[in-house]
Structures are given as structure tokens and as C-alpha cells.
Amino acid sequence: MLFGDRVDAGVLAADGDSSRVLLDAAAYADLISLAQRIGINQT
């Protein structure tokens, strides 16, 4: 569940191929930075 009941079904859709974020150092760093900015603790 990404946004609970705040986003209607069908609003979000995939746009392109999936990627292996763990193999893309820049994308992984951006993801960790975003998580820190929005208050997610990585353990």
C-alpha cells in the first residue's frame, strides 16, 4: 500500500520498464536522500 486510501485506484500507473535500483548507484543515492528528507528511518 503506497498511499492508503488517499489515492484512487487506477490513478498511478507504471511508465516504462522497471529498473534495478540497487545496481544504479546514483538512483540508490537519490532514493536514500528522499527517504531521509521525508523522515523514513533506514535500519
Which pLDDT value is given to residue 2?
Answer: 55
Q: What is the mean pLDDT of the chain?
A: 82
Is residue 24's pLDDT more than 70? yes
Residue ranges of E strands in the chain: none
Listed in sequence order, the residues at least 6 apart from 35 whose beta carbon sits closer than 8 Å to its beta carbon are: 42
Q: Does some domain include residue 1? A: no
Long-range contacts of 26-31 (CB under 8 A, 24+ apart): none
Answer whether residue 6 is part of any domain: no
> How many structural domains does the chain have?
1
Model pTM score: 0.52
Of 11 and 35, the one with more pLDDT: 35
**39 is written with which cell numbers?**
523522515
**Gyration radius of the chain's alpha carbons:** 13
Domain residue limits at 30: 16-43
5: in domain:
no
Q: Is residue 25 in some structural domain?
A: yes
Question: Which residues lie below 8 Å from residue 22, measured CB to CB, with a gap of 6+?
Answer: 28
